[in-house]
Amino acid sequence: MPVKERRTKILLLIFLSTDVNFSFVTISEALQKIYDISINQKTKGTISSLIKEGLIEKQSQSEQKNNPSTNLQYRLTEKGFYELCLEFPYFRYLKDQWDGLWRIISYEIPEKKRDLRDRLRREMRGWGLGPWHRSFWLTPHPIIPDLKNLVFGKEEEKYIQSFEATHVFGDMDILVEKVWGKSALDKRYRDLFKKWHDVLSTEVSKDEKMRQIIYAYIHLLRDDPGLPSSLIGRKWIGFEAFDIFKEVRGILLG
């Protein structure tokens, strides 16, 4: 499983089993096997923490009485969705409309503090940031509050500047290609489609096919900056991939 952290794995399982409609999900044995997770004491503790933090909701007793044959079910909350978007920015603009603001982050951390710089980059990895110029990073995602929470009171705070701005002049397509390498990402999605086709053609169980499809997808989603359709077009291959994924999920797990 490309995701090791238990909290993120649970949030991802719930989201990829539904959609932005935040429906309830039963964490079945099949899903546990696909996502390489078991409902042991550690997992139960993580689920309890996610509920307390308001990131997921458990099906109420009254709802269960109306559907007594189901196992315990969970769904993502909006708070949980946006928490997941900090790891997988691609999901954000499946639901939201972009506000048109660019977030620009600049940091110049001395070479002798490389460990500090590397840690900051790891923590901001899922924010859809792309290198614009030396020490300047660009993203359409509303991550400034998260940046403040991340560095407040820490040593790296003094090395960081952040801005919000609108685009005034210039070719947006050139900017998107330069900063995020859209054409290279497009090729990776085409390679993903070939991978999915090969997996679906193999003589293995439906659950195993779904596992391989999800793993390949997650590897790519880790690197997708999650650009809104107003920047890359509604027909962009990344949006097509999500639609195809949902169709395959319905066939294999339906």
pLDDT in tens, 150-160: 888 888 888 88
Q: Which CATH number fits domain 6-87: 1.10.10, 1.20.1410, 3.30.70, 1.10.1740?
A: 1.10.10
3 state SS for the chain: CCCCCHHHHHHHHHHHHCCCCCCCEECCHHHHHHCCCCCCHHHHHHHHHHHHCCCEEECCHHHHHHCCCCCCEEEECHHHHHHHHCCCHHHHHHHCCCCCCEEEEEECCCHHHHHHHHHHHHHCHHHCCEEEECCEEEECCCCHHHHHHHHCCCHHHHHEEEEEECCCCCCHHHHHHHHHCHHHHHHHHHHHHHHHHHHHCCCCCHHHHHHHHHHHHHHHHCCCCCCCHHHHCCCCHHHHHHHHHHHHHHHHHC
| pLDDT beyond 80 at 10 | yes
- Work out the percent of the chain whose per-residue pLDDT is above 70: 95
Query: Which of 19-28, 67-76, 133-142 bottoms out in mean pLDDT, i.e. has the lowest?
Result: 67-76
Domain ranges in the chain are: 6-87, 101-166, 181-253
Query: Residues 62-100: pLDDT tens digits?
Result: 555 555 444 689 999 999 999 999 999 999 999 999 999
**Can you give the pLDDT at residue 68?**
46
pLDDT exceeds 70 at position 122: yes
pLDDT tens string 161-219: 999 999 888 899 999 999 999 999 999 999 999 999 999 999 999 999 999 999 999 99
Question: Domain 101-166: which CATH class?
Answer: alpha beta
Checking if the pLDDT of 5 tops 70, the result is yes
